[in-house]
C-alpha cells in the first residue's frame, strides 16, 4: 500500500541544453494504475527510472509513502520493475529468476516456494518453472518478468513498455491481463508506454508528457473530452483530432464558408495575444457527413480506411488558399469513394478551442 | 643494400616458385574445366588435392613418423618398446620437468584469467578505460622471445658486494625497499614462478580483452534488474556477471592452458631450461635437437600431444554447443 509523489523532480543530463524531465509534479494514489505516455524522448522512461533509482534526481524529490527516496539505492525503495526486454537472467531457470530477489533478502526457502508457486499459478507458468528463459516464447518471458515483480510483493510496480516486444494480438490480450492482475493485487503501478491506446485502456489516470514537461494528468475520459492543450488533443485519440488554426470572427473560427461557433468567453480569451487567430479542433467521430445543401465543408476524399465497423475517411479542402487535411469517422455502411467530394459538418457542441499561440485550452 | 650476387639467385628462386604455383593452379582449373560428366565430384577433388597433399606431407606423415620414432632408440635404428616413455616418468630430471609443466598449466590460466577479469570489471566504464586497456593489452603484441628478453632485464642481478648499481628493475626495487636482491633466476623453486609471471603478464591482456567484450555484451537491463532485486556489488559479480560470461571464461582458460602446456620460448630465452626451470616442450627440443635423441624427443612430443588433445576436444565441443544454442 503506497502513494508516490514526484515533487519538482528534474533530471538534467550533462551536455544537453534542456532537462530530460523538467520539474515534474505528480501524485499517485494508493493502488492507482498510472500511465506515463508521450512520444519518444518525452522523458517518460526517465521519470520512471528516477522513481526506480536507476537515474539520478538532479533537483526536487521523490517520495514513496511520504518517505523521501530521492537518494536511496534501488533495493531500498521496495519497488519491482518490469523491463521492455524483460531482462530475465539467462543462466537461471524461471523458478530461480522469480526467486532471486527473495533469496537475496534471505527469505526462508519454504516461503519463497509458496510465493513463487502462487505467482506462477496466477500467470499460468507452472509448467515452465524449470525452463531457462531462452526456451520460452515472448509472451511467456513477459509473464516471467511479471512474475518476478509479483513475488516481491513490492510497494510499487514499475513497468517500462512491457508489451512493446509482443505481437499485436498478444499485446491486446496481455494488456487486459495486466490490468486485471493489477486490480486484483491492488499494488500502486506506474506504467510507461508510447502507445496512447494502451494508456487509455489500462490507466486509471494518464499523465501525458512532452519534452520533459507534464502536459496533463487526468482520467482517460477527461483527457479525451477536455484536453488541456493542443498537444494532448492531437496525441490522444486515434485517428487524431482535426486541429486547424483559423481566422477568428466575432462568432467563432472561420472554416471556409462554415463558422465553428465559440462562446463569448472563449472569443475574449482567444483575442488576447492571439493575433486574430484561434486554434479549433474536432474529433473525427464528432462530425457528420451531410448533403451539399446543409452547409457542410466540402472535402475531396483521398483515402478510405474501411474498418468493418465503420470507416475513416481522409480528405483535403482549401481554406484561405492553403490545402488542409481532415479525417472523418463515418458510420457503418456509409459508402464513400476515392475522389468523391463529401460535406462535413462538425457537431457544434463537441469541438475544442485553443489559444492560437500558447496552445492552451480556452 | 642488397648484394645482388648473393640475393639474385634467391629472388630468382622466388620468382620460379610463384610462377610454378600459378602454373599448377592454372593447369588444374583448365583441366577441371575440360572434364565433363560427373563434374561436382571432380571439382571437389581438384580443389581438395593440393590441401590434402600438403597436410599429408606436412602433418600426417611427420605425426606418424614421430609416433613410430617414440618407440625407437636415439638414432631410430632399433625398437626399444616403451623405454622412452618409461624414461619420461622415472627419471628425477624428467619428473621435475613434469612438475614444472603442471605448475605452469595450473598457475598461468588461473592467475592470468583472474587478473584479466578483475581488471576488466574494474576499468569497465571508467573514464580512462581505453588507455587502461591498451596498457595491459600491449604485452600481447610482443613476441614471447621479446618478452623473455625484457623480463631477463627486469630480473637482472649484480652482486651487491661487487657492483654498486643494480640494472634490473626488480633488484633495484628490492634495494629501495631496503632489502638485499637475489639472483632471481637461479634459485628453484622461485625461479619457475618468476618465469610464470612473464606468461601471466602476456596472457592477462588477452584474457582482459575477451572478458571485457563479454561483460559489455551483458544487456544493461539485466544489471539494472539485478540492482532492483537488491544485489550487492559482490553478488552482482558472482551471480550475474560471471554466469553471464561463462562461455567467454571457458574459451580464455582453455586457450591459455594450451599456451602454457606448449610453452617453450620464455624458458628457452631466460634460463635455457637450467636451474630446475625446464618444461615439457623445452625438454622435447633439447632431446631432439641438442642431444640428438630422436626417440626421447618423439616420446615427449607424443606425450605433449596427448595432454593437449582432450583440451582441444573440450573446446570444440563447447563451440558446437554454443552454436546449437544460438540457432
Alpha carbon distances (Å) from A205 to A26, A28, A48, A197: 11, 9, 15, 13
Q: From the options 1.10.3720.10, 3.30.1150.10, 3.30.70.270, 3.10.20.30, give the CATH code of B83-144+188-326.
A: 1.10.3720.10
Q: Which helix (H) or strand (E) holds B63?
A: helix B61-69
Q: How far apart are CA A130 and CA A98, in angstroms?
A: 11
Interatomic CA distance for residues B304 and B262, integer angstroms: 8
Per-residue pLDDT at A144 = 92
Confidence check on the interface: ipTM exceeds 0.85, yes or no:
no
* pLDDT tens, residue by residue, B37-75: 566 777 788 788 888 999 998 889 999 988 888 888 878
Q: Which residue has the cell 507534464?
A: A214
The dihedrals phi and psi of B306, each to the nearest 5 degrees, come to -65, -35
From chain A, the residues in CB contact with B222 under 8 A are 87-90
Residue in chain B lying closest to A80 (CA): B228
Q: pLDDT tens-digit profile of B266-290?
A: 888 888 777 878 888 888 888 888 8
A87–B243 CB contact, under 8 Å: no
Q: Would you state the pLDDT for residue B326?
A: 54
Which residues of B fall within a CB distance of 8 Å from A90?
222, 244
The model's pLDDT over A257-294, given as tens digits with 9 standing for 90+, comes to 778 888 888 888 888 877 788 888 889 888 888 877 77
Helix (H, G, I), strand (E, B) or coil at B127: coil
- Chain A CB contacts of B325 below 8 Å: 134
Contact A104 B230 (CB under 8 A): yes
Which residue numbers in chain B have pLDDT < 50?
A: 327
| CB-based contact B224 A54, cutoff 8 Å | yes
List of chain B residues whose C-beta atoms are within 8 Å of the C-beta of residue A53 = 227-228
A52: nearest CA partner in chain B = B228
Return the minimum-mean-pLDDT range out of A67-81, A240-254, A329-343. A329-343
Residue A358 CB burial class (10 angstroms; 0-12, 13-18, ≥19) = middle
Domains and CATH numbers, chain A: 4-234 (3.40.50.300), 242-355 (2.40.50.140)
Task: Quote the percentage of chain A above a pLDDT of 90.
Answer: 19
Residues 18-57 of B with CB under 8 A from A: none
As a whole number of Å, the end-to-end CA separation of chain B is 57
Rg for chain B, CA atoms, rounded = 26
Domain extent listing, chain B: 4-69, 83-144+188-326
CA angle B245, B246, B247 (to 5 degrees): 95
Q: Cβ–Cβ of B228/A85 closer than 8 Å?
A: no
Q: Which of A31-40, A212-221, B263-272 has the lowest mean pLDDT?
A: B263-272
Q: Which residues contact B45 (CB under 8 A, 6 or more apart)?
A: none
pLDDT of residue A252: 83
Nearest CA in chain A to B242: A91
Amino acid at each position: 500500500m503506497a502513494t508516490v509523489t514526484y515533487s519538482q523532480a528534474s533530471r538534467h543530463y550533462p551536455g544537453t541544453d534542456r532537462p530530460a524531465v523538467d520539474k515534474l509534479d505528480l501524485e499517485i494514489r494508493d493502488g492507482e494504475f498510472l500511465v506515463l505516455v508521450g512520444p519518444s524522448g518525452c522523458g517518460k522512461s526517465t521519470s520512471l527510472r528516477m522513481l526506480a533509482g536507476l537515474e539520478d534526481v538532479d533537483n526536487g524529490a521523490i517520495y514513496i509513502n511520504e518517505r523521501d527516496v530521492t537518494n536511496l539505492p534501488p533495493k531500498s525503495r521496495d519497488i519491482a520493475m518490469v523491463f521492455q526486454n524483460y531482462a530475465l537472467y539467462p543462466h537461471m531457470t524461471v523458478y530461480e529468476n522469480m526467486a532471486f530477489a527473495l533469496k537475496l533478502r534471505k527469505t526462508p526457502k519454504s516461503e519463497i516456494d509458496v510465493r513463487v508457486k502462487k505467482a506462477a499459478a496466477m500467470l499460468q507458468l507452472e509448467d515452465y518453472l524449470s525452463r531457462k528463459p531462452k526456451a520460452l516464447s515472448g509472451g511467456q518471458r513477459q509473464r516471467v518478468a511479471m512474475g518476478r515483480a509479483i513475488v516481491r510483493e513490492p510497494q510499487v510496480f514499475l513497468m517500462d513498455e512491457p508489451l512493446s516486444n509482443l505481437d499485436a494480438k498478444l499485446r491486446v490480450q496481455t494488456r487486459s491481463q495486466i490490468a486485471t492482475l493489477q486490480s486484483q493485487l491492488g499494488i500502486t503501478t506506474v506504467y510507461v508506454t508510447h502507445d496512447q491506446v494502451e494508456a487509455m485502456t489500462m490507466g486509471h489516470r494518464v499523465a501525458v508528457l512532452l519534452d520533459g514537461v507534464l502536459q496533463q494528468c487526468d482520467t482517460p475520459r477527461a483527457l479525451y473530452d477536455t484536453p488541456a492543450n493542443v498537444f494532448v488533443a492531437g496525441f490522444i485519440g486515434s485517428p487524431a483530432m482535426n486541429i486547424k488554426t483559423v481566422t477568428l470572427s466575432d462568432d467563432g473560427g472561420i472554416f471556409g464558408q462554415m463558422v465553428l461557433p465559440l462562446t463569448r468567453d472563449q472569443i475574449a480569451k482567444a483575442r488576447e495575444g492571439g493575433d486574430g487567430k484561434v486554434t479549433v479542433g474536432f474529433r473525427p467521430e464528432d462530425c457528420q457527413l451531410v448533403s451539399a445543401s446543409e452547409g457542410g465543408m466540402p472535402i475531396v476524399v483521398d483515402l478510405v480506411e474501411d474498418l468493418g465497423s465503420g470507416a475513416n475517411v481522409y480528405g483535403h479542402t482549401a481554406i484561405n488558399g492553403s490545402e488542409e487535411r481532415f479525417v472523418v469517422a463515418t458510420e457503418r455502411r456509409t459508402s464513400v469513394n476515392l475522389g468523391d467530394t463529401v460535406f462535413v459538418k462538425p457537431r457544434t457542441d463537441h469541438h475544442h478551442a485553443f489559444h492560437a499561440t500558447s496552445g492552451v485550452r480556452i | 643494400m642488397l648484394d645482388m650476387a648473393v640475393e639474385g639467385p634467391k629472388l630468382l628462386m622466388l620468382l620460379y616458385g610463384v610462377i610454378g604455383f600459378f602454373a599448377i593452379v592454372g593447369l588444374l582449373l583448365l583441366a577441371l574445366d575440360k572434364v565433363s560428366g560427373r563434374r561436382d565430384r571432380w571439382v571437389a577433388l581438384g580443389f581438395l588435392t593440393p590441401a590434402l597433399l600438403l597436410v599429408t606431407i606436412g602433418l600426417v606423415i611427420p605425426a606418424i613418423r614421430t609416433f613410430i620414432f617414440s618407440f625407437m632408440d636415439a638414432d631410430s635404428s632399433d625398437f626399444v618398446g616403451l623405454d622412452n616413455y618409461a624414461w619420461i616418468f622415472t627419471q628425477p630430471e624428467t619428473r621435475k620437468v613434469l612438475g614444472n609443466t603442471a605448475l605452469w598449466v595450473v598457475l598461468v590460466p588461473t592467475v592470468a584469467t583472474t587478473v584479466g577479469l578483475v581488471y576488466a570489471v574494474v576499468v569497465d566504464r571508467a573514464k580512462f578505460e581505453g588507455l587502461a586497456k591498451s596498457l595491459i593489452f600491449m604485452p600481447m603484441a610482443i613476441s614471447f622471445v621479446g618478452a623473455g628478453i625484457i623480463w631477463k632485464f627486469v630480473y637482472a642481478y649484480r652482486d651487491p658486494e661487487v657492483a654498486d648499481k643494480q640494472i634490473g628493475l626488480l633488484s633495484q626495487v628490492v634495494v629501495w625497499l631496503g632489502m638485499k636482491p637475489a639472483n632471481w633466476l637461479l634459485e628453484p623453486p622461485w625461479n619457475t614462478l618468476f618465469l610464470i609471471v612473464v606468461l601471466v603478464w602476456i596472457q592477462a591482456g588477452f584474457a582482459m580483452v575477451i572478458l571485457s567484450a563479454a561483460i559489455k555484451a551483458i544487456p544493461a537491463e539485466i544489471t539494472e534488474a539485478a540492482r532492483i532485486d537488491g544485489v550487492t556489488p559482490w553478488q552482482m559479480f558472482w551471480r550475474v556477471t560471471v554466469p553471464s560470461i561463462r562461455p567467454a571464461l571457458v574459451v580464455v582458460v582453455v586457450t591459455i592452458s594450451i599456451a602454457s602446456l606448449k610453452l617453450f620460448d620464455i624458458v628457452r630465452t631466460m634460463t635455457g631450461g637450467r636451474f630446475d626451470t625446464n618444461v615439457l616442450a623445452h625438454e622435447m627440443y633439447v632431446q631432439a635437437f641438442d642431444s640428438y635423441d630422436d626417440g626421447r624427443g618423439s616420446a615427449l612430443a607424443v606425450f605433449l600431444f596427448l595432454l593437449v588433445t582432450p583440451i582441444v576436444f573440450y573446446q570444440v565441443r563447447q563451440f558446437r554447443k554454443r552454436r546449437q544454442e544460438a540457432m
